[in-house]
Amino acid sequence: MSIAYLPATNRESEHIILRGATLIDGNGGDPITDSEIEVRDGRIVYVGSRPDEGTTSAREGNDAGDTSPRVIQLQGKTIMPGFIDSHVHFGLTVENPAANLARFASERIVRSVVNARNTLMAGVTTARDLGGTDRGIRDSIEQGLILGPRIHLAISPLSPTGGHTDFTMPNGMPTMPPMPVDPIIDTDDDVRRTIRTLVRSGADVIKVCTTGGVSSPTDTPDDIGVPEEHVRLIVEETAKRAGQPVAAHAQGPEGIKAAIRGGVRSVEHGYGIDDEGIELMLEHGTFRVPTLSSALRIPDPKNVPGYLYEKKVKWSAIARERVAVAMAAGVKVALGTDAGVCPHGLNLREEMHAVELSLTPMQAIVAGTKNAAELLRLSADVGTLEEGKLADLVVVDFDPLADITALAEPDNVKAVVQGGSLVKDSAGWFGSAAVTSALG
């Protein structure tokens, strides 16, 4: 059973034809030059090579009352699927934690809204928020009240007392604002009650922390967090509901293997994965979300606690080595940034980092589109540009296969269409100057 897809419902989707661009459809095949994409009622009704002159009219105005589409000329541009960031935290910032704790809850919500909008403007039309955001942000995007990616929510990531989501200093003082649902699970009863609460609260995915972490104050990535038996119990509990997939924050090798054996769908981070862990991922078909934007970034030591900075330096070096090994072994990768631990709105740096560590540009694009949609169980609607799917796409004026680094700058993403609705057109390509007659 799949989680329902959540579209924005009150933005109009125009009947348009996008003509002349080079098409990278997300499936990994060769690009199509001089392509054509027709969008009607928010979905793609044709995608492929530009038909011969005159044949497009057979697709135009077929429905009663339908009018000819607007034609957007995009010669020299590149069209790709809307990207998916599989690991964000819209309500989180780990830098300057004292300032974050001092903010009113209302200000943190406003900042989450700004983060979501900036993420959409970077070319991310779908995101998976793995902790700290409740369904209010998701539902507001669905209703068209605010701009942002459609969201799959974990709401609160889970760990035992003293684990990764127990943001409590030894003296009892908090280091972060409270989570929407109490994230601490120590017993079987805690597990069952918390999973049921998360499902009731609208969780699309369950996140567990099978290791400690870099940003948490009283553990390390080598520490075991949620044990394998509790991971299994969570998987069993979600199977009774909508079958919410389980994502595991797992950084040290033993916790990674416990997560895989327990039945998680994805390993988040996986920085210290060993060869046995790689074999287990391949055997089980487990996804890897390497969060390279966070892993490879060393923060300014003046902006973070000392314990965080020291762990970050150590584990960044480990990640650079072991993530590359796992990628080379063929582990299925879906890209996610861990934005909140790294800056929001720079999401497509992840594709650049993936190429830096061994993927080809095309593999990186597929990992950030098709693979990520498969991970989120949204392949029927998004992830590739195919007939029948939602019209989520981005348009750029360069060849990302020749220079993937250009994707890292949000200003280089000139146009974003989400569910057939134009949400960004910074170059004016979709305006009147770019429109020709349907027969042009």
pLDDT at 435: 42
Tokens 């661009």 -> residue: 21
Structure confidence by residue, pLDDT tens digits, 287-315: 999 999 999 999 899 888 898 999 999 99
Task: Mean pLDDT check: name the lowest of 197-211, 246-260, 290-304.
Answer: 290-304
pLDDT at residue 100 is higher than 90? no
Tokens 């095949």 -> residue: 29
pLDDT at residue 439 is higher than 70? no
Domain with CATH 2.30.40.10 in the chain: 16-81+385-436
**pTM confidence score:** 0.93
Averaged pLDDT, 137-148: 96
Complete DSSP assignment for 193-236: HHHHHHHHTT-SSEEEESB--SS-SS--TTSB-S-HHHHHHHHH
Residue 65 banded pLDDT, cuts 50, 70, 90: low
pLDDT at 265: 98
pLDDT at residue 256 is higher than 60? yes
22 vs 402: CA distance, rounded Å? 13
440 vs 437: CA distance, rounded Å? 5
Residue 59 banded pLDDT, cuts 50, 70, 90: low
Give backbone dihedrals phi and psi of 420, rounded to 5 degrees, phi first: 85, -5
Q: Are 120 and 114 in contact (CB under 8 A)?
A: no
pLDDT at 54: 59
pLDDT at residue 407 is higher than 60? yes
pLDDT at 437: 35
Q: Identify the three-state secondary structure at position 429.
A: coil
Reduce the secondary structure of 300-363 to three states and give it as a string. CCCCCCHHHHHHHHHHHHHHHHHHHHHHHHCCCECCCCCECCECCCCCCHHHHHHHHHCCCHHH
Instruction: DSSP letter for 178, please.
Output: P
422 vs 391: CA distance, rounded Å? 10
Structure confidence by residue, pLDDT tens digits, 347-367: 999 999 999 999 999 999 999
pLDDT at residue 63 is higher than 60? no
> Could you tell me the CA-to-CA distances from 439 to 19, 31, 62, 161, 435 in Å, in that order?
12, 25, 16, 66, 11
* % of residues, the chain, pLDDT over 70: 92
User: Quick count: other Cβ atoms within 10 Å of Cβ 53?
Assistant: 8
Averaged pLDDT, 69-76: 96
For 278-311, b where at least 16 C-beta lie within 10 A, e where not — what string?
Answer: bebbeeeebbbbbbbbbbbbebeeeebbebbbeb
CATH 3.20.20.140, applies to 83-375: yes
Radius of gyration of the chain (CA): 22
pLDDT at residue 433 is higher than 90? no
Structure confidence by residue, pLDDT tens digits, 236-248: 999 999 999 999 9
Handedness of CA 238, 244, 245, 249 (dihedral sign): negative
pLDDT at residue 130 is higher than 50? yes
pLDDT at 215: 87
Q: Are strands 35-40 and 43-49 parallel, antiparallel or unpaired?
A: antiparallel
331 vs 278: CA distance, rounded Å? 7
For 340-379, b where at least 16 C-beta lie within 10 A, e where not — what string?
Answer: bbbbbbbbbbbbbbbbbbebebbbbbbbbbbbbbbbbbbb
User: Quick count: other Cβ atoms within 10 Å of Cβ 120?
Assistant: 26
pLDDT at residue 6 is higher than 80? no
Residue 393 banded pLDDT, cuts 50, 70, 90: very high
Domain with CATH 3.20.20.140 in the chain: 83-375
Averaged pLDDT, 282-286: 98
pLDDT at residue 127 is higher than 70? yes
pLDDT at residue 13 is higher than 90? no
Enclosing H/E stretch for 121: helix 105-121
Q: Are 284 and 265 in contact (CB under 8 A)?
A: no
Enclosing H/E stretch for 395: strand 393-396
Averaged pLDDT, 163-182: 93
Domain 16-81+385-436 -> CATH class: mainly beta
Handedness of CA 319, 321, 322, 325 (dihedral sign): positive
